[in-house]
Amino acid sequence: MSFVTEHLINSRWPATHPDILQLYSFPTPNGVKVSIALEEVGLPYEAHTVKLNETTTPEFLALNPNNKIPAIIDPDGPDGKPLALWESGAILIYLAEKTGKLMPADAASKAEVMQWLMFQMGGIGPMFGQYGYFSVFAGSEIEDPRPKERYRNEARRLLAVLENHLSDRQFLAGDDYSIADIAIWPWIRAAKLFYKADEDFGYSELPAVMRWWELCMARPASEKGLVIPDRDG
């Protein structure tokens, strides 16, 4: 027996290889952050599809009491002890520090990466997600236009910040791809593909953001991570 096989979550999502990192997720913008990062750093892992209506089950709540994907169990955590972890930003930081990849070594550059990671966690993710809710998922039930307008306007403001920042650099923290880029670009993609927000978000007026997004999308790890875990698994 191991920490993974003894954990309650294993009774619903059994591990085939409990000695490697276990990912419990779904291919949403938040979910694919971790699968993309795992593909980038090259850690062996096993992915489990947790559908969004399964996050309130006792098995999943035993791993993440906040009932949100993604979550991980690393059987080889700090000091060789197993670690269960949730919150996508926290997982990205953990993976970067564990592998020494996707995070600069010097303190100033590291702080800049963390700055843009927090920009996503506190801004891009919540604002884009709320826009999606009011424009796509609940739009037919809500006649008041103000919620959608509020989140559209805030999304456009945040995108203007990104456009200005990316106008003279390749990636968010300079020349090197980092967890900050991984945290943000899946949301740019989701707004385009799932929310059909090109016009509302003014994508045609954001050449630097679009150039950066396409550069991130073209990475081999991105192509793999975007479809992990299998949506229908």
Domain ranges within the chain, ordered by starting residue: 3-102, 107-221
pLDDT at 39 over 90: yes
At the topology level, CATH places domain 3-102 in Glutaredoxin (3.40.30)
pLDDT digits (tens, 9 = 90+) for 86-107: 999 999 999 999 999 999 999 9
| Residue showing tokens 């996508």 | 88
Q: For residues 108-125, give the mean pLDDT.
A: 97
Residue 138 reports pLDDT greater than 80? no
CATH topology of domain 107-221: Glutathione S-transferase Yfyf (Class Pi); Chain A, domain 2 (1.20.1050)
* Three-state SS at 142: coil
pLDDT at 1: 65
* DSSP at 18: T
Q: What is the mean pLDDT of the chain?
A: 96
Whether the per-residue pLDDT at 140 is higher than 70: the answer is: no
Mean pLDDT within 135-141: 76
Q: What is the pTM of this model?
A: 0.96
Q: Give the SS3 label for residue 110.
A: helix
Q: Which whole number is the average pLDDT over 184-195?
A: 96
Q: pLDDT for 149-158, tens place per residue?
A: 999 999 999 9
The token duo for 224 is 């793999």
- Report CA 66 to chain centroid distance, whole Å: 16
